[in-house]
């Protein structure tokens, strides 16, 4: 979405600026932003097997390169937000989060809470982080979103995708796939169970795997809205609570 995945470390500046403008136009506070790695962090993390943890000394430089790539992308996002008068502040997950076996273990969240109280907009991202068991690992943006939502008592999570939401099948390969506009937590879990029992890959295009990370936040009452961020105006509408095509996921 904000990078060209087929081109190493190439940002989609047009998309970044448009989304920054939409966030600015929504005038919504408190607000935290989390973005992924795209063609910046993912290729390096894969090349150096950062997610698997420390195995050999060459990974140390790989960790540094992966983190630098994410900092570079984050700076572009933060710069675009500030250009549109959003008081964005970069927050590096590797500096405030330690994982344990790939899951978030400890977080220094007080600075984040203070930023939100003062109407700053913290901007975080999927990152290479230290891990008490593995040495280091990759923290996904999806896992980070849920942790922030639960620890900061967020009412809403808006997830920007390159499709309109959750479908009955993969919309990229099956044109007849139908958009699911509303789903409860129970229905979502039932959907996951049917896929597991059938022993097939996620027919929704991997979306359920992504949503699995968000379930803890949904369980505590946070609503999740999946929208197509590639369509101009969608993120602004979603932030303002206006009607927008997508998938709304609620606890009940």
pLDDT at 12: 97
Closest listed residue to residue 24, CA positions, set 225, 229, 235: 235
Phi-psi bin for 153: left (phi > 0), alpha (psi -120 to 50), beta? left
- What average pLDDT does range 80-93 have in this prediction? 98
pLDDT at 150: 94
Closest listed residue to residue 2, CA positions, set 32, 41, 45: 41
pLDDT beyond 90 at 191? no
Q: Residue 222 burial by CB count (10 A; 0-12/13-18/19+): exposed, middle or buried?
A: buried
Per-residue pLDDT tens over the stretch 128-148? 999 999 999 999 999 999 999
Q: Kindly report the number of other CB atoms within 10 A of residue 186's CB atom.
A: 10
Mean pLDDT check: name the lowest of 19-23, 105-109, 119-123: 105-109
pTM: 0.93
pLDDT at 212: 87
| Structure tokens belonging to residue 224 | 């999740």
Per-residue pLDDT tens over the stretch 149-168? 999 999 999 999 999 999 98
80 pLDDT tier (thresholds 50, 70, 90): very high
CA distances from 115 to 29, 31, 74, 76, 82 (A): 11, 10, 17, 20, 15
pLDDT at 169: 83
Mean pLDDT score of the chain: 93
Quote the CA–CA distance of 202 and 219 in Å, as a whole number. 22
In order of their start, the domains of the chain are: 1-154 (3.40.1160.10), 155-252 (3.40.1160.10)
- What average pLDDT does range 91-102 have in this prediction? 97
Per-residue pLDDT tens over the stretch 193-222? 776 655 555 555 577 778 889 999 999 999
- CB-CB contact of 217 with 145 (8 Å): yes
């Amino acid at each position: 979405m904000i990078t060209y995945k087929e081109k190493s470390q190439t940002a989609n500046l047009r998309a970044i600026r448009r989304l920054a403008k939409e966030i600015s136009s929504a005038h919504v506070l408190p607000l935290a932003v989390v973005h992924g790695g795209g063609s910046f962090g993912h290729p390096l993390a894969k090349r150096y097997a950062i997610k698997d943890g420390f195995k050999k000394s060459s990974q140390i430089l790989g960790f540094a390169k992966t983190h630098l790539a994410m900092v570079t992308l984050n700076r572009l996002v933060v710069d675009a937000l500030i250009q549109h008068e959003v008081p964005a502040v970069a927050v590096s997950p590797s500096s405030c989060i330690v994982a344990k076996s790939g899951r978030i273990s400890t977080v220094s969240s007080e600075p984040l809470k203070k930023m939100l109280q003062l109407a700053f907009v913290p901007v975080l991202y999927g990152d290479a982080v230290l891990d008490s068991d593995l040495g280091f690992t990759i923290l996904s943006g999806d896992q980070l979103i849920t942790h922030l939502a639960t620890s900061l008592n967020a009412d809403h999570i808006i997830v920007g995708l390159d499709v309109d939401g959750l479908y009955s099948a993969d919309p990229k390969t099956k044109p007849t796939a139908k958009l699911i506009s509303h789903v409860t937590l129970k229905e979502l879990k039932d959907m996951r169970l049917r896929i597991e029992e059938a022993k097939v890959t996620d027919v929704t295009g991997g979306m359920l795997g992504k949503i699995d990370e968000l379930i803890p936040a949904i369980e505590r009452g946070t609503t999740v809205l999946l929208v197509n961020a590639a369509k101009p105006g969608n993120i602004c509408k979603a932030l303002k609570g206006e009607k927008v095509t997508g998938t709304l996921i609620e606890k009940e």
